Amino acid sequence: MALDDKLGVKDRTFKIVGTRPNRPDGIDKVTGRARFGADMNAPGMLTGHVLRSPHPHARIRAIDTSKAEALPGVKAVITAKDFGHVPDDMADVLDHCLAGDKVLYDGHGVAAIAAVSPAVAKQALKLIDVDYEVLPHVTDVDAAMKPDAPVIREAGGDETVPDGMSKNAMHRFEFGHGDPETGFGEADLVIERSFRTEAAHQGYIEPNACLATLAPDGQAELWCCTQGHYAVRDMCAAILGLDKGMLRVTASEIGGGFGGKTTVFIEPIALMLSKKTGRPVKMVMTRDEVFRASGPTASTSSDVKIGMTKDGTITGAFAEFRYQGGAYPGSPVEFGAMACFAPYDLKHVKTVGWDVVTNRPKQAAYRAPGAPMAAFATESVIDELCQKLGLDPVETRLKNAASEGTKSAYGPTFPQIGVKATLEAAKAHPHYAAPLGPNQGRGVATGFWFNFGGNTCVSLNVNADGTVSLTEGNPDIGGSRASMTMMAAEELGIPYDRIRTVIADTGSLGLNDVTDGSRVTFAVGLSTIKAARDAIRVMCERAAMVWGIDPDAVEWEDGHAKPAGPNAGQFPPMSLAEIAAQASNTGGPIAGHHEVNAEGAGVSFATHLVDSEVDPETGAVKTLRYTVFQDAGKAVHPSYVEGQFQGGAVQGIGWALNEEYIYGEDGKLQNAGFLDYRVPVASDLPMIDTVILEIPNPGHPYGVRGVGETSIVPPLAAIANSVSNAAGVRLTDIPMSPPKVLEAIDAAG
């Protein structure tokens, strides 16, 4: 895929891209009309509820559902057995919804009920008898790595895990090049530190919800809040043995996801309950269930060793990461180990990652999955080296920064990238030179995310009145309808408000991968532009037909077909609306399509600056000022780009300072609610300043890079570094809650 073929991105002047129009779904969303997951009902619908395990680890000896089934108003009771055998790659997905032989975490689903009302369902849940044989449990990643730890999965790890290790180690990853030991030998200072981060939940405000109907002929309808309704379709079809084409999934408006809504938790259950009862079944998770049984991210422990010369050159870098991803393999340790040193051009670098299982819910992706925790560790050590060597942290990062042609720490050689631009911008920004008061400190950190393209299918229909209907298949989670509409308008040369973008169900458009990997503005945008070009090609042909000239002699400019030059003939330009009005007489409806498995997403870098004040009496850390510098390639709708920067930074602030999964000795989650799992509120925060950099991505016609994830990578380290500068203590344990900060201050005397 290449840059815009006609115009180099740099020379292109945009009319609509880069402006800030109102989003097309704005009125629906400010009036309460927009329909989210729990806002849909169906005639005769039942309500579905899940019985969840009170034990972190137990064998299920027997489940007696007879009393519950006998309760008037109960229409069906199911367990995992009702699903029979499912394909191997779906076994863990189903097991996480409803347990097989063992429950693996506090909150693990055991059975489900469909009833006429929530009151009946609640009563019925109490009537299900589960005979548990309680087993020893482990919820901490380091404890799970001990050779004598309770074993969660008897089969143990794969061939990458050496003999004699804990059976909870599932897989070992390794990345890098050169020899770090050689590098440490060349250093003037080598620092080695260990770090821990606790799990954070994505914390979307809308609990998972769905409405399912499965008829005896195998035709099914599913409405749900998800980041990817095609993925939901494929998983549910595989688990229930349905044909993909018979299961139509419609994505509701989605009340946040951040990676957490990329899998299924209740959808297969609702479909099975509907199948058993012959009625629509609606399921809505409670907030308690969301915390206990939907994916938080991994908790981690790591060791980092970095060597630096007096002038700030990093000579060698090594990091080892242990990520527990709950009771199933698949923690994002691989991404963490790949991403952490990506901002730098290093001769000797090696990272090792261990994927570990514990008695916790299966982790789900969370915004740049795996990268923030790894960057916390490595960016903290780089900062400490700068402190000890008396070096400027931005200058030092610049000195080591990767650029075009750098062989990255995770393998590939970088094309044009923006890491230096983010650092230069930070250095030049007034924030970097602003004075600080007592107990205040400034922190800096840099972060990286890969970005993704993926399967994408877009359809664009030109209506007879000159309006355009754009159909795409990715839920709009933060203004993407606006961005797609803008790119279509830009390409077609018609006003923004002449286009309406809808998000199709799985029966109306081909495969679209999940809204993840910051892929939508890049890949769906690219496909939108190409679909518009496809429609333009058709419109040029139609104009040629009307004019009686060769289609090659027609070109498109500013929403009009016109003869390509004086030799093509003398005809006044014909507008899109004029061509559309004659479509029936020139060959029928006009449409454009594009289908692709997009590559060339273009990596993304950010540098964050933060000023914190540490209260020496309480250990509380207040964020005073925050600035995000990030490369967007090309910002399509700058307000929503800024919004991604701000939202990611604030999720990072919450993770750094407050948010954590707290497990008791009993293996139960102690803070499964927004009162005790405290996400940042408005009064915790300052404005979040943003600086958008635009280093074009050669893989997109307008140079767009995804922006959604990178912004959560630097905050953990940036804040730890600011606390270190404010209070003279180096925090190595996330979250940096007041008691921990106070303890560190007291220990430092």
Partner 1 sequence: MSQIHVSTTINGDATEFLCEPDETLLDALRDRLGLTGSKEGCGTGDCGACSVTVNGRLVCSCLMLAAEAEDAEVTTIEGMAEGEALHPLQRKFIEHAALQCGICTPGILVAAKALLEQNPAPTETEARYWLAGNLCRCTGYDKIIRAVMDAAAEMRGEMRRAS
Nearer to partner 1, 140 or 206 (CB): 206
- Over 133-191, what HEC string results? EECCCCCCHHHHHCCCCCCCCCCCCCCCCCCCCCCCEEEEEEEEECCHHHHHHCCCEEE
What token pair was written down for 176? Answer: 């890098």
Out of 18, 100, 156, 256, the only residue in the binding site for ligand FES (CB under 6 A) is: 256
Nearer to ligand FES, 456 or 515 (CB): 515
* 309 sits near partner 1 (criterion: CB under 8 A): no
- Taking the complex as a whole, the smallest distance from the CB of residue 255 to ligand FES amounts, in Å, to 6
3-state secondary structure of 487: helix
Residue 92: count other Cβ atoms within 10 Å of its Cβ.
17
Rounded-to-integer distance, Cα 96 and Cα 325, Å? 12
* Residue 15 binds which of ligand FES, partner 1, none (CB < 5-8 A, kind-dependent): none
Q: State the DSSP code for 523.
A: I
Nearer to ligand FES, 295 or 316 (CB): 295
The count of residues interacting with ligand FES (CB under 6 A) is 2
Out of 639, 698, 730, 738, the only residue in the binding site for partner 1 (CB under 8 A) is: 639
- Taking the complex as a whole, the smallest distance from the CB of residue 260 to ligand FES amounts, in Å, to 13
- List all residues 6 or more positions away from 665 whose beta carbon is below 8 Å from its beta carbon: none
* Residue 207 binds which of ligand FES, partner 1, none (CB < 5-8 A, kind-dependent): partner 1
* 681 sits near ligand FES (criterion: CB under 6 A): no
* Residue 416 binds which of ligand FES, partner 1, none (CB < 5-8 A, kind-dependent): none
Q: How many CA atoms lie within 13 A of 585 on its CB side?
A: 7
Residue type, 88: D
**Contact string (CB under 8 A) for partner 1, positions 580-619, x = contact:** ----------------------------------------
Nearest to 636 by CA among 692, 556, 718: 692
Contact assessment for residue 515 and residue 455, using Cβ atoms and an 8 Å cutoff? no
- Taking the complex as a whole, the smallest distance from the CB of residue 205 to ligand FES amounts, in Å, to 4
Phi and psi torsions of 631, nearest 5°: -85, 120
Contact assessment for residue 265 and residue 96, using Cβ atoms and an 8 Å cutoff? yes
* 629 sits near partner 1 (criterion: CB under 8 A): no
Nearer to partner 1, 25 or 334 (CB): 25
- Taking the complex as a whole, the smallest distance from the CB of residue 256 to ligand FES amounts, in Å, to 5
* 38 sits near partner 1 (criterion: CB under 8 A): yes
* Residue 151 binds which of ligand FES, partner 1, none (CB < 5-8 A, kind-dependent): none
- Taking the complex as a whole, the smallest distance from the CB of residue 520 to ligand FES amounts, in Å, to 16
Out of 1, 134, 205, 428, the only residue in the binding site for partner 1 (CB under 8 A) is: 205
Residue 225: count other Cβ atoms within 10 Å of its Cβ.
29
- Taking the complex as a whole, the smallest distance from the CB of residue 50 to ligand FES amounts, in Å, to 20
Nearer to ligand FES, 378 or 644 (CB): 644
**Contact string (CB under 8 A) for partner 1, positions 13-32, x = contact:** -------x-xx-xxx-xxxx
Nearer to partner 1, 207 or 296 (CB): 207
- Taking the complex as a whole, the smallest distance from the CB of residue 212 to partner 1 amounts, in Å, to 18
Residue 210: count other Cβ atoms within 10 Å of its Cβ.
30
| Site for partner 1, residues 105 to 144, rule: CB under 8 A | 119
3-state DSSP percent of the chain in helix, strand and coil, to 5: 30, 25, 40
- Taking the complex as a whole, the smallest distance from the CB of residue 286 to partner 1 amounts, in Å, to 6
Nearer to partner 1, 301 or 515 (CB): 515
- Taking the complex as a whole, the smallest distance from the CB of residue 208 to ligand FES amounts, in Å, to 15
| Site for partner 1, residues 458 to 487, rule: CB under 8 A | 477-479
Rounded-to-integer distance, Cα 598 and Cα 1, Å? 8
- List all residues 6 or more positions away from 727 whose beta carbon is below 8 Å from its beta carbon: 439, 441, 614, 616, 741, 744, 745
Q: For residue 649, what are the CA distances in angstroms to 365, 409, 445, 608, 718?
A: 17, 25, 12, 8, 10
| Site for ligand FES, residues 152 to 211, rule: CB under 6 A | 205
Pairing assessment for the beta strands 46-52 and 281-284 based on DSSP bridges: parallel
* 688 sits near partner 1 (criterion: CB under 8 A): yes
Rounded-to-integer distance, Cα 544 and Cα 536, Å? 12
Residue 8: count other Cβ atoms within 10 Å of its Cβ.
11
Residue 123: count other Cβ atoms within 10 Å of its Cβ.
16
Q: For residue 462, what are the CA distances in angstroms to 471, 555, 574?
A: 11, 18, 15
- Taking the complex as a whole, the smallest distance from the CB of residue 365 to partner 1 amounts, in Å, to 15
- State which residue has the least CB distance to ligand FES: 205
- Taking the complex as a whole, the smallest distance from the CB of residue 642 to ligand FES amounts, in Å, to 14
Q: Which residues bind ligand FES (CB under 6 A)?
A: 205, 256
**Residues engaged in binding partner 1 (CB under 8 A):** 20, 22-23, 25-27, 29-36, 38-39, 119, 202-207, 253-258, 284, 286-287, 477-479, 637, 639-640, 642-643, 646-647, 649-651, 673-675, 679-685, 687-688
